[in-house]
Structures are given as structure tokens and as C-alpha cells.
Amino acid sequence: MRAGDWVEVRSAAEILATLDERGGLDALPFMPEMLQYCGKRFQVYKSAHKTCDTSQNLGTLRELPRTVHLAGLRCDGSAHGGCQAACLLFWKEAWLKPVNGSEAPHRNGSKCDLDRLTRATRRNGSDDPAAEPEYRCQITELNAASTPLPWWRPRSYVRDLLSRNVRLFDFIRFILLAAYNSIMRLHWRGRPYPYVRGTAGKETPSVTLNLQPGELVRVRSREEIMRTLNVHDRNRGLSFDPEMVPYCGKTVRVLRRVERIVNERTGRMTKIPGVCLMLEDVICGGCLSSRRLFCPRAIYSYWHEIWLERVAEQ
């Protein structure tokens, strides 16, 4: 399946028949949040043949077989303690069928039902309401469902083109940029693009704007933001990623205030201290980061209020 293809999500019964007793296929969980899309048609957003590792070896790539992302379908966290990460869902091709297609579904022998699917969202399986839950989701199990993918392997970039994940013009443009940045990183005085280096020192500043979902904001310039970052390009523990630079100077709306997300390593719910925001359609493009070029996960960026300024509605 390639980007732009129209597919239909199989029925719940067909999908359950592909799952093992832990609610997964090839170690990738099918989550209860995905049941609402059964029987509906969607467009393939991108092939998920590669993805970035955000839990173990940060900044590296992993390879997944026969997996795609569908346009606009993100996890709402309803079966995982209300997690607000809004991750793009992974879909095994066995859970989908081409529109007007007649392919028979893959079957494991009906080892899973709805009750087991719900129980599989917990690692510890404890019924004690006082025990801290440890959640299982596609992201906590992503490394088990994938294999390491060296960033230099040509095959993955060929698949980026063949799957229509990347247009030819963008492919050439960002491959050349990656080569330029590799040269710049050979010397400590080199300046990769986009260049980000914090100048705030150890104590990073903060402001309180009390921004709410739906409000219009403008992202501050790169120079302004660099004055709020320490030498590790962080402000109060939150990093400013090169993938966020293209949004500098743009006007967008606040999507939500992020207060809790599932820790990808431990599965435990993490409460985020201070104010952390998501902005509408402001996602990682996977084109500017080192060693994870063309990652299709489209992760929402997290923003501090000091990196934004309120804009009056016209």
C-alpha cells in the first residue's frame, strides 16, 4: 500500500482473527482506540516502513514490515488513561483492504477477543485500583515490533520514493541538505541548517500567557527562541528540535494543553510539569533531523509559552 491509496478498515471480527492472545500482530498491538474506524474508508497517509525510535536509542530509525499510517487517524488515549500524546496510529496491511478489493484477511486462529484486547492495554495486569498502571500501546511496543534500520541503508530511501512518501523534488532537496549538514558537523565551528544553539546559560527564562485551545498565536523567531535555551537547546527540560524551526514566524492555533502522556519506556503515566502546548498541524516533518530522514510518524511538537506570542483575532 502506498501514500494516496484508498483503503477500508476491516471489521472488528476480521481484525481480531489476526491477533494473538496479547492483541497484537507481529508484536504490534491493535488498540481499542482503533475499533471506532472499523468498516470505514480512509486514505493512506504514508507507508510506515520506517519510523523513529523515541524510547530506547533516540535519533535512530526502525523498520516495520507491511505497515501504514492512515490520514488523520491518531490515538485519542481513551483506553490508556487519557494519554494526550495523540500519536499517529500504525495499521498493519492485514487490518485493511483496498477499496473494492477482495483479498482474504490474514488469520491467526481467533486467539483474541474484545475482553482480551482491553486487558492487553496493561503490562502488569493488576486489578488493584491502588496500583499504578503500566500501559501497553503501539509506541511502548514499537521496538519489539520492528528491527534496527541503519540511517545509511539506501534501500529505505528507495522505498520512500516508491511508496510515494516523498516527492522527487523534496527527496533531492533534503538529501542534499543532509549531505551538507553531515559536512558541517565534522567541525565544531560548522553550522548545520537550521542552526540552533541556546544562549541563555544555565537558568532558562519562562513567561505565563495562560494560552487556551483555539487561541491564535505566532511562533517567535529562531533568534528569540535561542535566547531562551541552554547549551543543550532546552528550556526547563523541553528541547527545541530543528524540526520546529520551519514554524518560526508563522501564525497558528493552540490545539491543546498537554498535561499527561504515557512514558514510552516504562508505560507509566507521566504528568508534565508546567505549561506544555500542542499547536494545530505543527508536526515533525522528518526532513531536518540527523539520522532519521523522512520518518513518517508526524509527531506533534511540544511548545513552551515563552516560544509563542498571543495574536489578536481579526
Beta strand spans in 106-184 (E): 147-149
Radius of gyration of the chain (CA): 21
Which portions of the chain are predicted below pLDDT 70? 101-110, 125-130
Beta bridge partners of 308: 219
Grid cell 517567535 is found at 220
pLDDT at 128: 60
CATH number of 193-310: 2.30.30
Q: Which residues contact 308 (CB under 8 A, 6 or more apart)?
A: 209, 211, 217, 218, 219, 220, 277
pLDDT at 107: 65
Q: Would you say 231 and 200 are in contact if contact means Cβ atoms under 8 Å apart?
A: no
pLDDT at 123: 87
Give the domain ranges of the chain: 6-147, 193-310
Q: Cα 13 to the chain's mean position, in Å?
A: 28
DSSP letter string, 88-123: BPPEEGGGEEETT--PPPP---S---HHHHHHTTBS
250-283 pLDDT, tens digit per residue, is 999 999 999 999 999 999 999 998 899 999 999 9
20-67 pLDDT, tens digit per residue, is 999 999 999 999 999 999 999 999 999 999 999 988 888 899 999 999
Q: Is the whole-model pTM more than 0.85?
A: yes
